[in-house]
Structure 1
Amino acid sequence: MISYAAALDILASAITPLPAAELPCSPVPGLTAAADLASAEAVPPFANAAMDGFALRSADTQAASAGAPLRLVVAGSIPAGTPAPAATEAGVAWEIMTGAPMPAGCDAVVALERVEVQRDAAGRPQALLLREPLAAGRNRRGAGEDFRPGDRLLAAGRALDAPAIMALAATGTTSLLARPPPRIAVIATGSELSGAAALGAGLIRDSNRPYIAAMLGQLQLPLVASTAMADEPAAFSRALDAALGAADLVITTGGVSAGRLDFVPAAIAAMGGETLFHKVAIRPGKPLLAARFGRRLVLALPGNPMAVAVGLRFFVVPALRALAGRGPEPRLRARALAAIHSRAGLTFFAKARAQLDPQATLGVSALPGQESFRIAPLLAANCWAILDAQRGGVAAGELLEVAPLVPGEFPAGGD
């Protein structure tokens, strides 16, 4: 039996990131940047107004005051999407709309509500009275203020999520070197699993496959195959062979412990799989197994629901990050709001709930019902509390690591 840290090291060493290709910058779920990407354009591409108002030369306004307002003639109007005037004379302002290009010579914009506007019969501004000086750059967005050409736009390993897609579109980037999402298959074993509306004697419902599919869906990673089967080694071997032909990562549940009917380790070995490790010093999920078939990975999880949840969150997710060329997931730390008991020698992943106190300190409490068959406490949880194997339990007030139920979410609050 190896430690959790050692198991992660073995996984990281065994996994080769998926091949990269030049792909269109479309919002395809699960894509990740395979290399740093530089911006090819300036954003904004030109200096423009940050709000509706009047563009002017700040130097003209320095003597303006409430007692001696400055009168500026309005030379015209500049809507967004039109070219900027090529020159601005002293004592002149331009009506300007948000996002419109700044006229040559103008370096500031005064907000509409900060001036008194004199209009003609048609409502067009003719002049304005300004009662305060304006600093250069006020309400003006400079060219390249967001991105300059050559600035790093995306780092290698960055998921092409909505903010990344926005940045790519804003800079005119149409393609990039990216890795496709890993293809994932699931095989649930267990003669006791039933999909029937009414359960027969000794049968239970399959909750593991729906959980895995839902969690991967939240990570924008769809399954390519999902199968439930009885405890039949030959049928399992056929199903695994088919899954390995379609997927980069195969997740199995059940049949991985030391019982007489726990055939998965032997079946994997008989098929030529290289066992990377079997049994990890964790709770729940100790019998977990990892194996490799060339570049294909198999993670065989115990069948209890919380063993599946822990195996998915703390083994499958790191494996998926490695396949995508991403580094380890950053961890948060929180203060234990009450003592959490654990057995030294095992890394304990406790169903927990985190919350922010009025001072914005993150605190965490383990929930009652930590047995690996109990699903109900998971409904109340918003995170996992991680108790290090060397440390054992923690006392109230001590710091410990926490991980959100779904990677990337902040583990506090919620319904």
Structure 2
Amino acid sequence: MAGHAAQQAPRAIRYAALEQDGREDQAFDADPWQLGALLFTSGTTGPSKAVMWPQAGVNVWAAQNAMARWVAHDDVEYVCLPLFHANALLNSTWTAFVAGATVALTDRYSTTRFWSEIRQCGTTRFNSLGAIVNFLWTQPPTPQDRDHKVRLCSMAPVPPYVHEFEARFGVKVFTGYGLSDYCLAASTRLDDPAEKAFSCGKPRPGIDLRIVDDNDIELPAGQTGEIALRSHETWSTASGYYKMPEATLQARRNFLFHTGDRGYLDADGYLYFVDRKKDSIRRRGENISSQEVEAVLMSHPEVVNAAVYPVRGDLPEDEVGASVLLRPGSALSYQDLTRYCVENMSYYMVSRFLEFVDALPLTESGKIEKFKLKQRAEQRLSPLWDREAAGIVVSRASARA
């Protein structure tokens, strides 16, 4: 940490002090194509894969990110996520270093300490993932909500209450689309129309982003398929997965990187993320986005966080399952939450199986480990409430009624 932030923040260490610790730096000579880092994927749908990034790649990633996200030398980036994940290490810390900005590192995320540390460090921007935004939003409003210097906040995914979040905390939210496997592919801009707030922005220069079907045929605007990428810039992609040559070849077939994500481009060229392919739910001939169902669940004032996943039902197809974290002391019932869903989503998307949980399993980077919830539900290790067993049948006719 350097500059004003080091003067204000407790437990701060100046970078100059690290340079004067009495130990000499070891000489290191490396070619740009040599292995520079192993970055692990989030592991939300299964075991994490180690992504091989070359020496030049990590610097190109940071430089591209700094330009796309308007990082300036007088910015102070607050980092509360673990540095072994690409988001904190490259999107925040290394990007700030490349831009000549200041980094304020804290031990770990804490809801109770978050805004006080933001103020103490003179933070101007921070990066938020997973449940952090929901935890901040569900705290009671205070007169200090806008007492800070933050001007930009990165979120992924963008919550349904994003405009209310901006108004309450006095920040501008931006987002984008990227992977540990392929760096930043798309990003929103400060001058984007308000109606594009829930998009991932437009593909950045140098990236060929297309939506393809299962045969890699490009789909027209508005149709959902797999997001596929091809970079035209040197050193802007990973070298592959460590000791997983078959997975590397499968992901890079036909000279495209297959993200495993489903999305679409609108008529204006904005990218919309729909779901992970492994999280997609197929029910009654309909493709259901778990993210869309989660957005409705989390729009309920009593819900803090939610995870939606496929559960095998009586028939050989998926049913919609949901694990929901409520506000402390909430008296919300399964029936009331189901009625809310019927009123706010298509009838075929309404969860059949529900459970209220004390906590959701999270990765170290704050993303929900859905595969654990799915395994637990399919093995009947958790007491799922069954809407149909409770006598609540949701159909097109009942939804209209």
Q: TM-score, normalised by structure 1?
A: 0.28
Q: Tell me which structure has the larger Cα radius of gyration.
A: 1
